[in-house]
Amino acid sequence: MVIENYSEITPELEQLAELSKKSSYIDPELYTTYDVKRGLRDLNGKGVLVGITEISEVNSKKFVDGKEVPCDGQLFYRGYNVRDLVKNLPQEQHFGFEECAYLLLFGTLPTKEQLEDFKGILAHYRSLPPNFVRDMIMKSPSKDMMNSLARSVLALYSYDDYADDTSEPNVLRQCLQLIANFPLLSVYSYAAYDYYYNENSLIIHQPRPDYSTAENILHCLRPDSKFTPLEAKLLDVALILHMEHGGGNNSTFTTHLVSSSGTDTYAAIAAALGSLKGPKHGGANIKVVKMFDEMKSVIKDWEDEEEVGNYLRALLHGEAFDRQGLIYGMGHAIYSVSDPRALTFHSFVEDLAIEKGMEKEYRLYELVAKLAPKIIAEERKIYKGVSPNVDFYSGFVYQMLGIPGELFTPIFAIARIAGWSAHRMEEICHKGKIMRPAYMTVCQHKKYIPIEERVVD
């Protein structure tokens, strides 16, 4: 068999794919038979303990009379409730991403002097190597910004004279540089994409050292570099709420897993980016926005509970949107009663909707948030309750901020690189063995068959 065009799915490839699919199938019942925790989760979806961390805690249950019962979700960064961190941001400089990044990396809230020094370090590192934008970002731009981001991270290895040095000071230096430069790598990748594929003007703004991470994202992204204080504050809050979520989420666990092999920082973070790109992890908020776009186009009265409820039921029955039977933005693997990130974010969303004249859309989101949990409980047999998660609101906020959908997941990465960095430092400092979970083999042993005697099944 000769494959002449590697970019096409030929009948021969379809045939080979069927063979691969047949040989790759594992009977789901075997996981129950052998008590194997598929995906490191038990039958109730609870994660299997594989490590210990001091960086963050995700809590959604409490003990009552010796039994675990669901409760309002809580998220802690180094022991501090994230809702308190957001609520108590200093008013004179209300940008908290840098403060929380310091907390995750160094274990304590910074003093005013420590925070200013840390922001100065990030401002110093917020520049890319000479000609990097031209040579690595502008040439052959990708249609997917997460792929562009991962490629740029891997390319930075070539510009680092100490790329393979995994000593703690050097890894910290690399992490700080990535935290500082993720906004530039993301926004510039979008600028290249927008220029080549949408034929729009190419505008590259240099970052401003006096701006926070959130401000620099809006400054570099917008042609006129203008934004309101509320816009910058909402984006800053979004970054805080997305920057860390326990060691067990897929991309953070990937960071630990790959770091345990002793590889370099760029390879570890590129692997985490590959994980976050997956629609089951980092791509949920764009699904929410697209779902609402269709909802707004087919529902005549956005305030009619019956009409909205019927659409939500159609979603669950696989009769609307992408026919997957899901109401995106509802439910979470950990939280059931409430997602603390969603509750914190929600308290700011209405203000931005009013500023943008999008109160009608906001009320539709509120109605869905009210109806969806009830309808899901009626239509599905579920072992726990569901509630709006952070993705339910984040996509709407990014939409109001004029952030293109292509950048939704990279914005997630801009936030989460702080958490990944803290976890990489934790793994490097731990100096443990390489992670190597076991898989049970259920294939039968077979006797070798000479090629002349083989037949097609």
Which positions ≥6 away from 252 have C-beta within 8 Å? Answer: 244, 245, 246, 272, 416, 419, 420, 423
Q: Rounded to an integer, what distance in angstroms lies between the CA atom of residue 436 and that of residue 434?
A: 6
| pLDDT tens-digit readout, 38-95 | 878 776 677 788 889 999 999 888 777 777 787 888 999 999 999 999 988 766 567 8
Domains of the chain: 75-283+409-430 (1.10.580.10), 284-400 (1.10.230.10)
The answer to whether 454 touches 81, Cβ cutoff 8 Å, is no
pLDDT(3) > 60 = no
| pLDDT tens-digit readout, 354-398 | 999 999 999 999 999 999 999 999 988 776 678 999 999 999 999
Residue 388 is classified by DSSP as B
> Mean pLDDT, to the nearest integer, of 140-160?
96
pLDDT(141) > 80 = yes
pLDDT(261) > 70 = yes
The tokens of 404 are what? Answer: 């293109």
* Active-site annotation, residues: 332, 391
The answer to whether 256 touches 247, Cβ cutoff 8 Å, is yes
Helix (H, G, I), strand (E, B) or coil at 239: helix
Q: Rounded to an integer, what distance in angstroms lies between the CA atom of residue 186 and that of residue 403?
A: 12
Q: Looking at this protein, which amino acid is placed at residue 61?
A: K
The tokens of 341 are what? Answer: 């990130």
> Mean pLDDT, to the nearest integer, of 225-240?
95
The closest of 188, 184, 176, 209 to 142, measured between CA atoms, is 188
pLDDT(158) > 80 = yes
Q: Determine the pLDDT at residue 44.
A: 67
Give percent of the chain with pLDDT exceeding 70: 96
Rg (CA), the chain: 24
Q: Rounded to an integer, what distance in angstroms lies between the CA atom of residue 256 and that of residue 261?
A: 9
Q: Rounded to an integer, what distance in angstroms lies between the CA atom of residue 148 and that of residue 407?
A: 11
Grade residue 15 by pLDDT with cuts at 50, 70 and 90. confident
| pLDDT tens-digit readout, 270-312 | 999 999 999 888 888 899 999 999 999 999 999 999 999 999 9
> DSSP of 327-338, one letter per residue?
-TTB--SS-SS-
The tokens of 253 are what? Answer: 């666990």
Q: Rounded to an integer, what distance in angstroms lies between the CA atom of residue 421 and that of residue 382?
A: 36
Q: Determine the pLDDT at residue 2.
A: 54
Q: Looking at this protein, which amino acid is placed at residue 302?
A: W
Give percent of the chain with pLDDT exceeding 90: 70
The tokens of 334 are what? Answer: 């950990």
Residue 135, classified by CB atoms within 10 Å of its CB into exposed (0-12), middle (13-18) or buried (19+), is exposed
Query: How far is Cα of residue 342 from the mean position of the Cα atoms in its chain?
Result: 15
Among the ranges 117-121, 140-144, 339-343, which has the highest mean pLDDT value? 117-121
Q: Rounded to an integer, what distance in angstroms lies between the CA atom of residue 396 and that of residue 230?
A: 15
For 161, phi then psi, to 5°, come to -65, -15
The answer to whether 417 touches 179, Cβ cutoff 8 Å, is yes
Grade residue 5 by pLDDT with cuts at 50, 70 and 90. low
Q: Determine the pLDDT at residue 254.
A: 96
pTM, entire model: 0.91
Helix (H, G, I), strand (E, B) or coil at 254: helix
Which of 101-115, 132-146, 324-338 has the lowest average pLDDT? 324-338
Helix (H, G, I), strand (E, B) or coil at 198: coil
Q: Which neighbouring-strand residues pair with 61?
A: 70
Q: 441-450: which pairs have CB atoms within 8 A and are 24 or more residues apart?
A: 442/26, 442/30
